[in-house]
Structure 1
């Protein structure tokens, strides 16, 4: 679908964001990521007061993992639906979500844990050198943090941006205390659209840097 003078809706949307954003603390690749989150949510608050927080190696590690075809472990299927499928195919990244896996449901009941926690724990090996993307379940993020502390997994990047009122903000604060590259945000906001937007933005940077 085209808008004025053949400009795509996406391009025009990005132009509007640039016109309306005002002052913000981001530049370069970080701004491309934050701008994509705004594009997906229509929420300029993500760009203000350093709402999106980047570990110093987050962008570098994220781009490397995507280029190398590493796994992407997500907490809910909704994130998968929002990822650009052509990117996944071209770079051969395997997206894994076990939230509805019957084995996870059974094991979660046995361990008295949430399905989100159990799904993360069962994929410790696949997380190594990959990207963990959590947009909905704070318990999943807390489990990944614990697994990293235990030394049983070492992802290249953790995107921890769960939405909610219970433990969401706290889990993001805990994420910033570990020595693993991360992208997160302050407060209760987040969700699948934000999480997927971050990965889609990283893919766009990979493509542009390769051309």
Structure 2
């Protein structure tokens, strides 16, 4: 019988050892706080190109840590992000993650206005002053609308925005467009990204303030 690693902690540790080795000199491109996030994204995707695509703007890690330690609500543009985040760890800091894309009122309003649920969802979430982190891994329209709301002064500036929508229509453009906003921002240049990448980015911050047993 072939021997293989069965313990999840050992599998993860070995994975990160491989990632560190294969990143090589690119490790020098990141700060000590950025590097765990980069590694976690690569671990999630097995794609080393993310080391070239990920961008950190306006001190997002420190600001994200502050929001998490204060017990923020976290708005997600997909159920997949909500389900992927560690509810146990978030709960330890008094944080909750939620989405409104399946909300009946949001669905009705989006149909009446002829816009995406993501637009309406981000509008509703942004009115909640307890929501300081926005995670966008799917909908470029949510990122566009969030920028408009911030720049118009309709909402307070978030403490962290992760903008990583994936796709071919508006994904790359929306992420680039949002860079001009003066808010803490982590993004993935180009078409790549997605819900799993967005979760990995937040976990990369979260696990810097929460020590997991065995790691």
Work out whether the TM-score is over 0.5.
yes
- Give the conservation status (yes or no) of the 8 Å contact 1:73–1:127: no
- When residues 69 and 117 of structure 1 are mapped into structure 2, their CA distance, relative to the original with a 3 A threshold, is same
- 1:160-184 per-residue CA deviation (whole Å, 9 max, x = no partner) reads 0100000100001111101111000
Partner of residue 37, structure 1: 41
Partner of residue 174, structure 2: 171
- Give the conservation status (yes or no) of the 8 Å contact 1:129–1:156: no
- 1:5-51 per-residue CA deviation (whole Å, 9 max, x = no partner) reads 99611111101101112232213111111111001111100002xx1
Aligned positions of 1:14-93 closer than 5 A: 14-24=16-26, 25-48=29-52, 51-93=53-95
Partner of residue 201, structure 2: 198
Unmatched tracts of structure 1, length 5 or more: none
C-alpha RMSD over aligned residues: 1.8
- When residues 21 and 73 of structure 1 are mapped into structure 2, their CA distance, relative to the original with a 3 A threshold, is same
- Give the conservation status (yes or no) of the 8 Å contact 1:128–1:155: no
Partner of residue 143, structure 2: 141
Equivalent of 1:180 in 163, 169, 183: 183
State TM-score, norm by structure 1. Answer: 0.92
- Give the conservation status (yes or no) of the 8 Å contact 2:125–2:131: no
Alignment: residue pair count: 205
- Give the conservation status (yes or no) of the 8 Å contact 1:133–1:195: yes
Q: Secondary structure at the match of 1:133?
A: strand
Partner of residue 102, structure 1: 104
Partner of residue 161, structure 2: 158
Q: Secondary structure at the match of 1:100?
A: coil
Q: Secondary structure at the match of 2:128?
A: helix
CA drift at 1:125 = 2.2
What is the rounded CA distance, in whole Å, between the counterparts of 2:199 and 2:8 in structure 1? 27
Unmatched tracts of structure 2, length 5 or more: none
